[in-house]
Amino acid sequence: MTFFQRNRQKLIEAGIDPARLPPGQYHTERFPVLHVGDVPTIARDDFRLSVFGAVAKPTVFTFAELEAIGPVEVIFDIHCVTKWSRFDTTWRGVRFVDLMRIVEPLPEAQHVIEHAAYGYTTNIPLADALHDDVLIAWEHGGEPLEAEHGGPVRMVVPHLYFWKSAKWLEGIELSATDEPGFWERNGYHNYGDPWREQRYWGD
């Protein structure tokens, strides 16, 4: 029996449906830390989120202004391209769609480019960002988001591989054209659907 088969068997024994795991994934209770470069430390009071590009009302939000939009708590599974998955993770933040109601995307807006610390970017279609469970999040598991996991604020896009949920979020750019980000330019799939195992170019 392979590691993945044993992992699924443990889920069955625990009364958890193994069908919740996308192909090629294994379940873990841990929250592995994966990133390139140093971990930035940004105080909530110093945090700023710029929303710009193809929007009617470009805006720079402070942390307090994000909170004032109306936070929600959402529970969902997350899946990393490095093959681990965690079930029933709890996040608190504002829905991306609620932020968009403030900045008003222009008709030509089709893509979202997430800008993060050190110039990192990743890209998703605007239609995917507008899913009801996509968050700009600042709490995980009832606690402030730790810096190593992207605090003070990160994107969370649960239906795509987790590299599409940029840590240390600094900017959200709406664009008429797609702009592949760091990992997409270095071999990762441009879309990243876990259920279709879109890990790398050609998948």
From first to last of its 203 residues, the chain has per-residue pLDDT tens of 788 889 889 888 898 999 999 999 999 988 777 666 678 888 999 999 999 999 999 999 999 999 999 999 999 999 999 999 999 999 999 999 999 999 999 999 999 999 999 999 999 999 999 999 999 999 999 999 998 888 999 999 999 999 999 999 999 999 999 999 999 999 999 999 999 999 999 88
pTM (2 d.p.): 0.93
Which pLDDT belongs to residue 50? 98
**What whole-number distance in Å separates Cα of residue 112 and Cα of residue 130?**
10
Determine the pLDDT at residue 29: 87
84: enclosing H helix or E strand: strand 84-95
Contact by Cβ (8 Å): 31, 88? no
Query: What is the C-alpha R_g of the chain?
Result: 17
Residue 35 confidence (pLDDT): 66
Give dist(CA 127, CA 37) in Å, integer: 30
Return the CATH fold of 3-33+48-196.
Sulfite Oxidase; Chain A, domain 2 (3.90.420)
Q: For 42, how many CA atoms within 13 A lie in the half-sphere containing its CB?
A: 26
| Domain range summary for the chain, segments of one domain joined by + | 3-33+48-196
What is 37-74 written as a DSSP string? SPPP---GGG-EEEEEESBSS-EEEEHHHHHHH--EEE
pLDDT at 3: 86
Q: What's the pLDDT at 39?
A: 83
Whole-number pLDDT of residue 97? 98
